[in-house]
Amino acid sequence: MPDQDKQASGPDSFDVVVIGGGPAGYPAAIRAAQNKLRVACIDEWKNHDGIAAFGGTCLNAGCIPSKALLESTELYHRTQEEFAAHGIKVSGVTLDLAQMQKRKSGIVRAMTQGILALFKAAGVTPLQGHGKLLPGRRIEFTPHEGERRGLTARHVVLASGSAPIELRSAPFREPHIVDSWGALEFAAVPKRLGVIGAGVIGLELGSVWRRLGAQVVVLEALPDFMPFADQQLAREALRHFKKLGLDIRLGTKVTGAAVSGGAVEVTYEDGKGAQRLAVDRLVVAIGRRPYTKDLLGPETGVRLDERGFITVDETCRTGVEGVWAIGDCVRGPMLAHKGKEEGVMVADLIAGRFGEMNYNVIPSVIYTAPEIAWVGLTEEQVKASGREYKSGVFPFLASGRARALEQPAGFAKIVAARDDDEILGVHIVGPMAGELIAEAVLAMEYAASSEDLQRTIHAHPTLAEAVHEAALATDKRSIDAINR
């Protein structure tokens, strides 16, 4: 009998139990239910107000609240910096941070409650509390309220997510030394803000509070800025962060952080020796680690690697029959859309359908202003591979739409193979880069050549024309910019 035709029966017996209801777990549950399987999703998240909510880090304390604040603070900044250029005179612009935070919380509430509505419509059983895998695909479920009980499942999907890494020399100490969640909840704009880590969180949240008037110093351990990104893109981004007033100090080693008198005294070393930095709040954003606390009972057979990630193959199988793992708790970039696609793949594979993940074409977006987005290989990676390549760059300065938006910063860049013209990487820094990258992702998913993009008609005037022109520029055939 095909797997999807078997049905679990009994109130605590399921075809699929998903442990973790973040952007990896909840889509897995929904897709499994769409595949006509009997599904439960267990999640233990509680917000600061003590209310349980599905959605995990992303919806409660990550992607969604950070983007809400990024949008609000960008508007605040543009009102002051850009409106005059449009001929719009504004005066008396003031900040109501409480309202800004209230709006953010409202969006989070609507989105997280939306998951319950989606579960109801799809027929997923929501279980709020702690889930622990036991041998034989039994699950111990401890609800937030009520009695602990045992569940059984034909398949278990582990989607327990990740947690912020603590820095030994600057341990979290609320409300002064905080992680990214704490940094999304400030009730007042800190006059002086320190951020440890110039990664995605450091740049996004540093931008939020800088735009609201904080003096922001970012301490980064590595000597290079954004070493994981295309370096032409990183240089352009750094220029804009400096223009915004982010004081990014590279090659620093934080040696201590002491809270006294309501402030934080940070000590660090750089090329010139020992340094001190006094701030009102300190955000530690040095990466995240997989979270598997009390997830696995004894002798489940599920293995963790040396960094604590659940070991899986390319289709997210743990090696234990019927046990899968997805999202931030397994290898690969810690991104919501990566987890979501893994969840969908696993739920389809469980149902005997086709499921596959293309790990080479996962877009990255940093939601600063200008936005930063890329997919595929950087120019440096292509160069290091020894493959002959060509690259084309189109500046937004030459885009009519970007000028109309008063945002002519940055560029779109395409790196393509010299032999067969295949697009190898696309790197955009500029307005709406996070939206523009979708076209590049689709093109690369279909193994498009730069000529395919060159011959695709793009509406005028749009920002997307920058991607079109960058494709033309790979062959020095750009129309709207000087070919170099």
SS3 (DSSP) at 22: coil
Q: What's the Cα-to-Cα distance from 234 to each of 26, 227, 245, rounded to whole Å?
A: 34, 8, 16
Q: CA–CA separation, 189 vs 191, rounded Å?
A: 6
Tell which one of 279, 335, 426, 448 touches ligand FAD (CB under 6 A): 335
Give the total of residues touching ligand NAD (CB under 6 A): 24
Q: Where does 344-422 show beta strands of DSSP type E?
A: 364-366, 371-376, 389-395, 411-417
Determine the length of the chain: 484
Told to check if 182 binds ligand FAD by CB under 6 A, we report no
Q: Where are the beta strands (DSSP E) in 20-124?
A: 39-43
The minimum distance between CB 210 and ligand FAD, in angstroms, equals 16
Q: Residue 395: which of 246, 233, 241 has the closest Cα?
A: 233
Distance CA 115, CA 124 (A): 10
CA atoms within 13 A on the CB side of 337: 10
The CB-of-461 to ligand NAD minimum distance in angstroms stands at 27
Q: How far is CA 176 from CA 165, 182, 184, 193, in A?
A: 17, 9, 13, 10
* Sign of the torsion angle spanned by Cα atoms 42, 44, 49, 54: negative
128 three-state secondary structure: strand
Decide if residue 312 touches ligand NAD (CB under 6 A): no
Residue 131 binds: one of ligand FAD, ligand NAD, none (C-beta under 5 to 8 A by kind): ligand FAD
Residue 23's binding partner out of ligand NAD, ligand FAD, none, with CB under 5 to 8 Å set by partner kind: ligand FAD
Read off the DSSP letter of residue 459.
-
Residue with Cβ nearer ligand NAD (22 or 395): 22
Of 18 and 453, nearer to ligand FAD (C-beta) is 18
Interface with ligand NAD includes 236 (CB under 6 A)? no
Structure tokens that stand for 25 in this block: 């777990």
Tokens standing for 51? 């209310």
Q: Which runs of E-coded beta strand occur in 37-117?
A: 39-43
Give the per-residue contact string, 237-276, with ligand NAD (x = CB under 6 A; - = no).
Answer: -----------------x----------------------
Q: Toward ligand NAD, which CB reaches closer, 22 or 408?
A: 22
Residues 164-193, one symbol each (x = binds ligand NAD by CB under 6 A, - = not), give ---x--------------------------
**Which 104-143 residues touch ligand FAD, going by CB under 6 A?**
130-131
CB of 30 to ligand FAD, least distance (A): 13
The kind and range of the H/E element at 77 are: helix 63-81
| Residue 167 binding partner per list ligand NAD, ligand FAD, none, with a CB distance cut-off of 5 to 8 Å that depends on partner kind | ligand NAD
Window of 222-230, 336-344, 421-429, 447-455 that interacts with ligand FAD by CB under 6 A = 336-344
C-alpha to C-alpha distance for 220 and 230, rounded to whole angstroms = 18
Size of the site for ligand FAD (CB under 6 A): 35
Q: Which of 25, 202, 206, 290 binds ligand NAD (CB under 6 A)?
A: 202
User: Would residue 460 show up in a list of annotated catalytic residues for this protein?
Assistant: yes
Rounded CA separation 256/258 (Å): 7
DSSP tally for the chain: helices H, then strands E: 13, 21
Distances (CA, A) of 407 to 86, 93, 240, 430, 431: 12, 21, 12, 8, 6
Residue 63 touches ligand FAD, criterion: CB under 6 A:
yes
Report, in Å, the least distance between residue 331 CB and ligand NAD: 12
Of positions 70, 189, 295, 335, contacts ligand NAD by CB under 6 A: 335
371 touches ligand FAD (CB under 6 A): no
- Annotated active-site residue in 77, 240, 460, 468: 460
Among ligand FAD, ligand NAD, none, the one that 43 touches (CB under a kind-dependent 5 to 8 A) is ligand FAD
Both tokens of 56, joined, read 């995990």
Six-digit token string for 172: 């979290």
Nearest to 475 by CA among 413, 389, 392: 392
How many other C-beta atoms are found inside a 10 Å radius of the C-beta of residue 114?
13
Select the binding partner of residue 42 from ligand FAD, ligand NAD, none (C-beta < 5 to 8 A, by kind).
ligand FAD
Q: Which of 35, 162, 207, 391 binds ligand FAD (CB under 6 A)?
A: 162
Give the binding site for ligand NAD (CB under 6 A): 167, 196-202, 204, 219-222, 254, 285-288, 333-335, 365-367
Q: Report, as residue numbers or ranges, the catalytic residues.
A: 460
Give the binding site for ligand FAD (CB under 6 A): 19-25, 42-45, 56-58, 62-63, 66, 130-131, 159-162, 180, 201, 291, 295, 327-328, 334-337, 339, 367
